[in-house]
Structure 1
Amino acid sequence: MPTRAAALTPLLTRAVALAAVLAAVGLLPWLSGRDPALTVLRARSAEQEATAEALAAIRADLGLDAGPVALLADWASGLLRGDLGTSWVSGTDVLPSVGAGLQVSLGLMAAALGVALPVAAALVAPVLVRGRGTSGAVAAVPAALPEFLLATLLLIVCGVWLGWLPTAGWQGPAHLVLPAAALGVPAGALLGRLVADALPGVLDERWVELWRGAGVTRTRVAAAALRRALPPLVPQFGMVVVGLTGGAVAVEAVFAVPGIGRTALGAAKSQDLPLLQGCVLALLALGLAVGALAALVRRRLLGPGLRDAGLTLPAPRPVRVSPAVPAVLGGALLTLTVWGLLRDPYALDTAARLVPPSAAHPLGTDGLGRDVLARLGHGAAATVGTAAAVCALSFVLAMVLGFAPRVTAGTSDIANALPPVIVGILVAAAAGPGPGGAALAVALISWPPLAAHAAALVQEVRASGFLLAQRAIGAGPGWILTRHVLPSVAGPVARHAVLRLPGVALALASLGFLGLGAQPPAPEWGLLLDESRAYVERAPWAALAPALALAVLAALSVSLAAYASSRPHRRPSPSYGRLRHGRSRKAADRAD
């Protein structure tokens, strides 16, 4: 039956997408561009000569000469037995290492949620008291800050300058504070913003007025409003928690926390592929478990009466943002970029190492005497250019996949369960770190929001009455598609893709920060921030310059999104042009 087939299609595509991800993880030794046998030989004996006979013996021992199908079958059979293999570097079983790292990461995530919930409650409480909220604007910038950037700022300010807390290790509760804050503050700001944006519309509903008129206490009304607002937001809460798994990789790297994310990152860099496979499987299972738990919580909150129909929220009130805000932020970044492009980012001056800001070097120099302003300017051009290419590719995919929402629904769920960092680790393990791999990793998971937007617009246009008139005057499906549907969908989706450009640039910077993107001596912003951590105590300006530039980029992303949402929504309009068979627009109007 059509209805049953429509319900099964997302489940089938979800299963196929999950199987494809698992197959890619299982085939990492075969997909890797490097020779795994050479990696194992160097780990076992650094002095042994890499002869053809020695490498062939290692390949036979690891089963790498049996072909991809046998390799995948052997890995899958071991996985079913609970055997994740043996580390190529240490020679120990992978499962205990994955379990130990996962235990640390779960503790860090629990502490981060302990920070996130009070932050979210602080943003939601004023809305419940006043019935209207301004917390959306307050929470927007913290919610958009990438975890690696906030972790670096906390390390510099609270760990280095003030000396309040330890900056590395995992020995006690004091070592947990800064990593938990770096993960929890953005997550809490995002959770609070979601609820605070939804509550004013709920509090304007008719039932709230009736309850207040009947003398129901404010506490009971607030509790009921929260119960009304939460079910549609629970899936987004799940995505926030999944995002913690990706953010934990960077935070664990900054603070030297021995969690599953840092373990996976180290395994990818050392080409210890069995350990990397186990870590990625654990992170993927964690993301899928959180998504399933979110769906279960949503069903329980809805109750049996609304379980099938679901529940939608009133449209949130947009945050009013003046066009001057994104204009000023964009102008500042443009000025910085143009000013830096006029300088040489690779010129070395060992006599001017770690020089503070001066007339000759407005933002100081780095550890090799290179001008920080020049490297920021050239890095901005490269990062924004790569982000623009990723957004363009996502736009093309969205325009294609938007016409098949049932087919892409399951794939979108799997893509949403994989943070950019995890995909970046997989791509780096297969193809090696580099700007191309980082761009591919971000592109693989950045298309679902655009595809969902395109699918909604396609459905809206197809339901419009003017298409019936076009069919009545003899317009064919191809004419309607190219002259009406595509022009009505392409414009809004293209604007959406442009609005996502700063966020994509931040994702690329996060991969560069972790060493998965551009490699030295490239002047990439995330890489600049990572390189400057080595001498942050002696030259904090070298770290603060890229950190502030990334913060401005995050604020630009927020202001652009807020400005776009504050503008009146316009429905897709028909694109008439010259109609088929030489009919004019007046004839089409008469047909309507």
Structure 2
Amino acid sequence: MSTAKLAVPMVSRAGALAAMIALVGLLPWLSGRDPAWSVLRAQSAEGEVSPEALAAVRERLGLDAGPLGLLGQWLAGLVSGDAGTSWVSGKPVLPGLLGGLGVSLTLMGGAIAVALVVAAMLAARVLADASHGEVRHRSGASAAMFTAVPEFVLGSGLMVVFAVWLRWAPPYGWAGPENLVLPAVAMGVPAGGLLGRLLHDGLQSAAAEPWTRTWLVLGGGRATIAMGVLRRALPALLPQLALVVVGLLGGAVAVEELFAIPGVGRLALGAALSQDLPTLQAALLALLVLGVLAGTAVGLAQVLLLGPALRGASVPAAAEVRTEPGRWGRALPVMLGGALLIVTVAGLLRDPTAVDTSLRLAAPSWAHPFGADALGRDVLARLGHGAVRTVLVAAAITAVSFAVGLVLGLLPGISGPVEVINAVPPVVAGLLTAALLGPGVLGAAVAVAAVAWAPLAAHTAALVREELATTYIRASRTSGAGSGWIMRKHVLPAVIPPVARHALLRLPGVALHLSSLGFLGLGAQPPTPEWGLLLSESMPYVERAPWAVLSPTLALALLGGFAIAVSATRAPRTGRESVA
């Protein structure tokens, strides 16, 4: 591969960053509201908005220049070190942004350290087997379960157990190193589980290749073989590391809000909810730049790891090693799904809106198995009705994402937009839609759908390429068949079923993304029963009534575990489906 081809990812990331900068810079106009009116309302919600006051704000902020003119002014200000002035506080945005960025980078550094430790522990047995020349087809189920619980759910559980019950760590704030532990573990464990699963599979596949036995016969030492297997597996896994960092950026928003950490994620969330668009613009730009820099750094690391001989070559992935789930692995989805179904049905038989002030924060009892919330409403009822609402919205999003991904995946040159969308966490998309549409179910659904189509489009594009390369397609073309006929009769029937199964497997994950946006206040609004919102409403009372936090936490953990268990025990894939 030439130097020009190596530069393609760099150009793609630069183009993606330019497009996102333009989107962020035009937020005041894309929101559909008069920026001058938004400034006055942000600074004084009770004040009278007169034409004279609006004219004064437009003149002071240069809003009469129009959207493109103000975008140019905003970009020029960024170059000169001016990120604008907050519409709420009236203070410069940049000092607060830099302070929050330092906090977020410290938190991400701790989370990455935790993730690497978890990944190394999960992959250690496979690497030890490889150093002895053995290949044991381990399923990697333990690694998969580490990824089952989202960051904000795991953080809620850690806070209840270690901060409230055991009092080993402070629950809130950013006063010292002790405040880093729980948030870093909450972010690092799911990321480490994902890295561990990928590393586990990559090491297992690399250890099964013939060269490892050759090295053993020639007297290679255990350490030498282990390092060879590790180096063989890492280049193909490094691109996934960039996605892990992107996931950490999204998880940081929820974790910073949960633990009241003054990072850039919490700054962006507060700005989105208060419609402080200059602050939101700067915070989103910082998150996007961090994501692009992470992808660039990982790409450079991959080039360095390959060495001079393979730097320009296409390195084949290690052969996939198939593992069949054991009895417990096959039973786990049924157990978790059954538990979710029982909670849902039991909750649907109760009234989620009935208020009894005498039951405020009541502990679990026979009459109220999950207790009551701060208003005296039955938590089990709200969990049951919230499950139905969340699943219905997630199903609609999944259907739309499947249709969009299938259509766009058939188009040539889709890899660039897919790479851009994959670099945007759902939480960041939620912040953008909150600025454009306001917080609510519609905004949350649009945010999740805006990123959910990309993996399905990538899957579709890969399947189409593979199908078009088959012998019978070439024979059909030789016999005079047209492209449209081949697409209808051969390609689409082969592509649609695996992509549909892929979409269904993503449905629980879509539900979790919706819940995370609800937890942050970007999704469903009170008094709607929604799992993320339930957890958010209970957090202020975590020390008085930890059971009110644990109930939605356990429900979300069951959903995450069910998603992982189903994906781990699905039917053996065909060659066409392995690209997903």
Report the TM-score, using the length of structure 1 for normalisation: 0.91
Matches for 1:36-185 after TM superposition, within 5 Å: 36-42=35-41, 44=43, 48-131=47-130, 132=136, 134=138, 136-185=140-189
Equivalent residue in structure 2 for 1:438, among 434, 444, 462: 444
Matches for 1:155-304 after TM superposition, within 5 Å: 155-304=159-308
Q: For residues 330-380 of structure 1, what are the alpha-carbon distances to aligned partners after superposition, in whole Å with 9 as ceiling and x for unaligned?
A: 232223223222222111111222222233323221111111111111111
Equivalent residue in structure 1 for 2:411, among 384, 394, 404: 404
Change (3 A) 1:450 1:114: same
Q: For residues 306-346 of structure 1, what are the alpha-carbon distances to aligned partners after superposition, in whole Å with 9 as ceiling and x for unaligned?
A: 12223222214335155432233223222322322222211
User: Equivalent residue of 2:569, what SS?
Assistant: helix
Q: Measure, in 1, the Cα distance between the counterparts of 2:45 and 2:475.
A: 76
Change (3 A) 1:184 1:15: closer
Q: For residues 87-135 of structure 1, what are the alpha-carbon distances to aligned partners after superposition, in whole Å with 9 as ceiling and x for unaligned?
A: 1122222111111111111111111122122211111111112233647
State whether residues 136 and 319 of structure 1, in contact with CA within 8 Å, keep that contact through their aligned partners in structure 2.
Answer: no
Tell me the residue number matched to 2:378.
371
The number of residues matched between the two structures is 568
Q: Measure, in 1, the Cα distance between the counterparts of 2:37 and 2:523.
A: 23
Tell me the residue number matched to 1:585.
none
Alignment-mate amino acid for residue 482 of structure 2: G
More deviation, 33-42/363-372 = 33-42
Q: CA deviation at 1:556?
A: 1.0
Q: Measure, in 2, the Cα distance between the counterparts of 1:5 and 1:199.
A: 31
Q: Measure, in 1, the Cα distance between the counterparts of 2:178 and 2:11.
A: 47
Matches for 1:565-584 after TM superposition, within 5 Å: 567-569=572-574
User: Equivalent residue of 2:71, what SS?
Assistant: helix
Q: Is residue 380 of structure 1 aligned with residue 379 of structure 2?
A: no
More deviation, 389-398/158-167 = 389-398
Alignment-mate amino acid for residue 278 of structure 2: P
Change (3 A) 1:170 1:10: closer
Equivalent residue in structure 1 for 2:505, among 493, 499, 502: 499
Tell me the residue number matched to 2:318.
313
Q: Measure, in 2, the Cα distance between the counterparts of 1:547 and 1:111.
A: 23
Q: CA deviation at 1:72?
A: 1.7
Equivalent residue in structure 1 for 2:468, among 443, 453, 462: 462
Tell me the residue number matched to 1:582.
none
Q: Measure, in 2, the Cα distance between the counterparts of 1:356 and 1:309.
A: 63
User: Equivalent residue of 1:281, what SS?
Assistant: helix
Change (3 A) 1:319 1:144: farther
Tell me the residue number matched to 1:362.
369
Q: Measure, in 2, the Cα distance between the counterparts of 1:100 and 1:5.
A: 38
Q: CA deviation at 1:48?
A: 4.0
Change (3 A) 1:511 1:231: same
Q: Measure, in 2, the Cα distance between the counterparts of 1:173 and 1:404.
A: 50
Change (3 A) 1:308 1:570: closer
More deviation, 92-101/515-524 = 92-101
Matches for 1:386-535 after TM superposition, within 5 Å: 386-405=393-412, 407-471=413-477, 475-535=481-541
Q: For residues 161-198 of structure 1, what are the alpha-carbon distances to aligned partners after superposition, in whole Å with 9 as ceiling and x for unaligned?
A: 11111011111111111111111111112111111111
Q: Is residue 347 of structure 1 aligned with residue 351 of structure 2?
A: no
Q: For residues 498-554 of structure 1, what are the alpha-carbon distances to aligned partners after superposition, in whole Å with 9 as ceiling and x for unaligned?
A: 000011111111111000111111111111011111212222222111111111111
State whether residues 10 and 408 of structure 1, in contact with CA within 8 Å, keep that contact through their aligned partners in structure 2.
Answer: no
State whether residues 151 and 178 of structure 1, in contact with CA within 8 Å, keep that contact through their aligned partners in structure 2.
Answer: yes
Q: Measure, in 2, the Cα distance between the counterparts of 1:370 and 1:146.
A: 26
Q: CA deviation at 1:222?
A: 0.6
Structure 1, gaps ≥5 residues long: 573-592
Tell me the residue number matched to 2:133.
none
More deviation, 256-265/87-96 = 87-96
Q: CA deviation at 1:431?
A: 1.2
Tell me the residue number matched to 1:326.
333
Alignment-mate amino acid for residue 511 of structure 1: L
Q: CA deviation at 1:75?
A: 1.5
Alignment-mate amino acid for residue 569 of structure 1: T
Q: For residues 260-286 of structure 1, what are the alpha-carbon distances to aligned partners after superposition, in whole Å with 9 as ceiling and x for unaligned?
A: 111111111121111111111111110
Q: CA deviation at 1:12?
A: 6.8
User: Equivalent residue of 1:347, what SS?
Assistant: coil
Q: Measure, in 2, the Cα distance between the counterparts of 1:47 and 1:425.
A: 25
User: Equivalent residue of 1:346, what SS?
Assistant: coil
State whether residues 6 and 312 of structure 2, in contact with CA within 8 Å, keep that contact through their aligned partners in structure 1.
Answer: no
Change (3 A) 1:480 1:103: same
More deviation, 47-56/447-456 = 47-56
State whether residues 319 and 562 of structure 1, in contact with CA within 8 Å, keep that contact through their aligned partners in structure 2.
Answer: no
Q: Measure, in 2, the Cα distance between the counterparts of 1:468 and 1:44.
A: 66
Alignment-mate amino acid for residue 205 of structure 2: G
Report the TM-score, using the length of structure 2 for normalisation: 0.93
Q: Measure, in 1, the Cα distance between the counterparts of 2:45 and 2:211.
A: 73
Structure 2, gaps ≥5 residues long: 131-135
State whether residues 111 and 184 of structure 2, in contact with CA within 8 Å, keep that contact through their aligned partners in structure 1.
Answer: yes
Change (3 A) 1:563 1:45: closer
User: Equivalent residue of 2:68, what SS?
Assistant: helix
State whether residues 302 and 310 of structure 1, in contact with CA within 8 Å, keep that contact through their aligned partners in structure 2.
Answer: no
Q: Measure, in 1, the Cα distance between the counterparts of 2:388 and 2:241.
A: 34
Q: Measure, in 1, the Cα distance between the counterparts of 2:267 and 2:389.
A: 29
User: Equivalent residue of 1:130, what SS?
Assistant: helix
Tell me the residue number matched to 1:575.
none
State whether residues 105 and 248 of structure 1, in contact with CA within 8 Å, keep that contact through their aligned partners in structure 2.
Answer: yes
Alignment-mate amino acid for residue 229 of structure 2: A
Q: For residues 379-420 of structure 1, what are the alpha-carbon distances to aligned partners after superposition, in whole Å with 9 as ceiling and x for unaligned?
A: 111111111122112211221122235x22121222122111
State whether residues 115 and 185 of structure 1, in contact with CA within 8 Å, keep that contact through their aligned partners in structure 2.
Answer: yes
Q: Measure, in 1, the Cα distance between the counterparts of 2:189 and 2:458.
A: 28
User: Equivalent residue of 2:140, what SS?
Assistant: helix
More deviation, 50-59/6-15 = 6-15
User: Equivalent residue of 2:82, what SS?
Assistant: coil
Q: Measure, in 1, the Cα distance between the counterparts of 2:368 and 2:178.
A: 38
Q: For residues 221-257 of structure 1, what are the alpha-carbon distances to aligned partners after superposition, in whole Å with 9 as ceiling and x for unaligned?
A: 1111111110010010121122111111111111111
Identity rate of aligned residues, in percent? 58
Tell me the residue number matched to 1:590.
none
Change (3 A) 1:408 1:474: closer
State whether residues 148 and 561 of structure 2, in contact with CA within 8 Å, keep that contact through their aligned partners in structure 1.
Answer: yes
Q: Measure, in 2, the Cα distance between the counterparts of 1:50 and 1:94.
A: 24
User: Equivalent residue of 1:144, what SS?
Assistant: coil
Alignment-mate amino acid for residue 402 of structure 1: G
How large is the RMSD of aligned CA atoms in angstroms?
Answer: 2.3
